Structure 1
Amino acid sequence: MSKRLLRGELVEEITARVLDGRLPADARINEVHLAAELGVSRTPLREALIGLADRGLLVAAPGRGFLVAPFDPDEARRLYPLIAELEALALRWTSPLELASLPDALDSIADEMTASADLPATDDRWHELLTSRCANPHLLRLIEQTKPLLKRYETAYFSGRDRLAESVAEHREIADALRADDLTGASALLVRNWVKALSYLKRS
């Protein structure tokens, strides 16, 4: 296994531990213990930690190594509108023919959301499919790198079944707008979906 591939796997594993709470907010990363637990040397581990600090998921603390970034309402207020605009931009970078092929598959995932045991993951698949035909790989990479910063807030957002029904309806409206070849409407609905998610998060 190459060093580069190993680093990528480490980034995914550490990210997963932060998002599911095994590495809680404000926790200090014990590099010696984590390296032993993951079966790697400290060099590739530190490279992965530096990369995650660059993305904002961790914080490099002088004299203390790396800490898991704290929960921050201001961060959420910045990130949700940012992701909304990035995804709307991804739609505009997608050809009309490609967009026209998406609505049925989007509706199928929306159907799954109503009974899903892991709502954030199902919602992720819906949004990933929505932006998957974007012709700008740099934009998609930016979305992929930014979204993990939101994940720790998603549990609060998806905690209410009443909000779930509303969210599924919003997802269907976006698919319907694409079906009607209404890119402007779909983009506006997409932004509204993200902004409303933030408003519910504030109440939780």
Structure 2
Amino acid sequence: MPIPSDFSSPSRMSAKERAYAQIQRWIIDGTLQPKEQLIDAELAEALGVSRTPIREALLLLEVQGLVEVHPGKATIVKDIDKDDILKLYPVFASLHALATEITTSLILPEQIEKLKMLNARFAESIENKQPYQAMEMDEQFHNLIVELSDNLYISSFSTTIQTHIRRFKYVFLKQHETSTYSSVQEHAAIIEAMEQSDPISASAIMKQNLLRPMNELYKLI
């Protein structure tokens, strides 16, 4: 099981949280491949923690559907099912379209400026061929809109679905960089619609922004 040694983890986290965050990232970015066996002793040594927080982290990842735990046998990274793309993205797009419609009526000028800043960083990450950072900037853009909608249910359901989408999204950003520039342009169009207080247009563009990569990614994988 190849584990990189040149990684950094956030400070002020418990051993379980640190293990969970790092293993999740390795699964998302492909360091830990689908169907790969996860050996808790090796993970514990790599992360500098005991085996207990590793096992706790793996149980959390099992709940998320990122790993499969077979007691007494093995724990493996869950395989990617291509058809899940067509199940996840439409629900995710509808949630974010609704959040965008709500937020357009509530957003303040300084929040508009923050969206512009995040989109600029997103574009810069793509230009610099930094797929993971680009994914994070894209997520921050979308998550801010969801947060500003002030709807706990949209936020909660969105977070759950996003966990699975991240694996597909990373493949898309890593292998199909040119198409992601369309997302930058769509983000700019969403911001413009918000500035014009046009919730219907903003919502429609947001939905397109998520359904377009769904179709491209399905063809790619």
TM-score by length of 1: 0.84
- Change in CA separation of 1:87 and 1:35 when aligned onto 2, cut-off 3 Å: same
CA distance in 2, matches of 1:156, 1:19: 9
1:119-147 Cα shifts (integer Å, max 9, x gaps) = 22221222122223232335323323331
Q: Does 1:107 align with 2:123?
A: no
Which of 161, 182, 202 is the aligned partner of 2:198? 182
* Residues 28-177 of structure 1 mapped to structure 2, 5 A cutoff: 28-91=37-100, 94=103, 96-98=105-107, 101-116=110-125, 117=128, 118=130, 119-158=134-173, 159-177=175-193
The alignment of Structure 1 onto Structure 2 pairs a total of residues equal to: 201
Stretches (4+) displaced over 6 A: none
* Residue pair 1:103, 1:176 contacting (<8 A) in 2 also: no
Query: Structure 1: 5+ residue runs without aligned partners?
Result: none
Shift of 1:88: 2.6
Counterpart of 1:104, as a letter, is E
Q: Deviations over 1:40-87 (max 9, x none)?
A: 233322221111111111122354332111121111221112221222
| Structure 2: gaps spanning 5 or more residues | 1-12
Instruction: Decide whether aligned partners of structure 1 residues 89 and 63 sit closer, same or farther in structure 2, where only a CA change above 3 A counts.
Output: farther
C-alpha spacing 1:6/1:166, structure 2 compared with 1 (3 Å) = same
Q: Shift of the alpha carbon at 1:99?
A: 5.8
The answer on whether the counterparts of 2:89 and 2:211 sit within 8 Å (CA) in structure 1 is: yes
What SS does structure 1 have at the residue aligned with 2:80? Answer: coil
Identity over aligned pairs, percent = 27
**Structure 2 residue 32 is the aligned partner of structure 1 residue 17:** no
CA RMSD of aligned residues (A): 2.4
**Measured at CA, do residues 113 and 162 of structure 1 come closer, stay the same or move farther in structure 2, by a change above 3 Å?**
same
Query: Larger deviation: 86-95 or 172-181?
Result: 86-95
- 1:100–1:181 Cα contact (<8 Å) kept: no
